[in-house]
Amino acid sequence: MPPSSPPLRVAIVGAGSMAREHARAFAAVPGVTVAGIHSRTRSRAEALARELGILHVCDSIEELHRRTEAGLAVVTVPELAMKRVALAALELPWTLLLEKPPGLVPEETEEIAAAAARRTRDVRVALNRQWIASTQGAIVGLREHDGPRFVKVQDQQSIAQAAAIGHPPEVVRNWMFANSIHLVDYFRYLARGQVRRVDHLQPWKGERTEVLLARLEFTSGDIGLYEAVWHAPGPWAVTVTVPQRRWELRPLEQLTTQALGERPVAAAPAAWDAEFKPGFRLQAQHAAMAARGDASPLPTIDDGLRTMRLVRALYPE
């Protein structure tokens, strides 16, 4: 940012744990000020403002925009409130960063995307795992290889566990959108082209599902395999294989590479992903770029919708 540029003001909508993580990450970006916060529960917003030195605590989204003159609003509300709050925020002239999922189901995300298009607003989605140093390492390494890619994503979920930790029944019923989006989104940027075909090798059977297996075929010729273990232990892990090299994220924050005929080599972890929630610091930097009108690789609402639709294809109703 040029020295003469004014600070970018960021506003936070919501006051839960994710709001705190976003506020910490944005506060660490040079030239960014976290200027205000709004939450339906004012006491929580006041507590977070005291903790992080946020100046304005506001009683509405409209007041938040008026008092902070923010160029970017970060929306971190629960799944059932996202559509309502996002549509209200779209009435105001700022860039939006929506926590995932950007709508409880694809249809809600479509409504948000349509409203953003009508108002020509820039709406981004906080799919933070793309910005973990391990993921970025794999993305950079893949640029040197033109051959076909085999992308395997391993997911683990539990409807019973989602209910036990207090999620509302409607969120539990749509848990694949609320939580599997984390894993399914890896196909968006590790495989090339669009999804041409999804073959259900072991299909979704609702709450009776033990293992879901699906093969994905992309227009580029890349192949994906999605494996989701439900109601049993399993890792969150991703591997990408090309003819001469393999990248593994297991756990997702740890990158291991292996060349053909050689031993695996683990990459050193990044300091940013230890100090902040993994991926959040780099994500905040890219969101600030978008809010300033600069080119930014941060996923758009259309990217988020594409991932939501892929989740629906993997988990058909």
Residue 47 and residue 244: Cα distance in Å, rounded? 52
| pLDDT tens per residue across span 120-167 | 999 999 999 999 999 999 999 999 998 999 999 999 999 999 999 999
CATH node for 1-128+270-317 = 3.40.50.720
**Polymer length in residues for the chain:** 317
Averaged confidence pLDDT in the chain: 96
| pLDDT tens per residue across span 179-197 | 999 999 999 999 999 999 9
DSSP string, 254-293: -EEEEETTS--EEPPPPSHHHHSSTTHHHHHHHHHHHHTT
| pLDDT tens per residue across span 186-242 | 999 999 999 999 999 999 999 899 999 999 999 999 999 999 999 999 999 999 999
CATH 3.30.360.10 fits 133-267, yes or no: yes
How far is CA 209 from each of CA 59, 95, 117, 229, 233, rounded to the nearest angstrom?
44, 40, 37, 8, 14
Task: Kindly tell me the burial class for residue 42, based on how many C-beta atoms sit within 10 Å of its own C-beta (0-12, 13-18, 19 or more).
Answer: middle
| pLDDT tens per residue across span 6-18 | 789 999 999 999 9
Q: For the chain, what is the largest distance between any 2 Cα atoms, rounded to a whole number of angstroms?
A: 61
pTM assigned to the model: 0.95
Q: Detail the DSSP E strand segments found in 118-261.
A: 123-126, 150-157, 195-202, 211-218, 223-230, 237-242, 245-249, 255-259
Residue 199 and residue 226: Cα distance in Å, rounded? 10
Residue 183 and residue 141: Cα distance in Å, rounded? 20
Which pLDDT belongs to residue 207?
86
Q: Do residues 300 and 286 lie in contact, with contact meaning Cβ atoms separated by under 8 Å?
A: no
Q: Which helix (H) or strand (E) holds 8?
A: strand 8-13
| pLDDT-derived band at 4, boundaries 50, 70, 90 | low
In this predicted structure, the answer to whether residue 1 has a pLDDT above a threshold of 70 is no
Q: Domain ranges in the chain? A: 1-128+270-317, 133-267
Question: Which amino acid appears at position 304 of this protein?
Answer: G
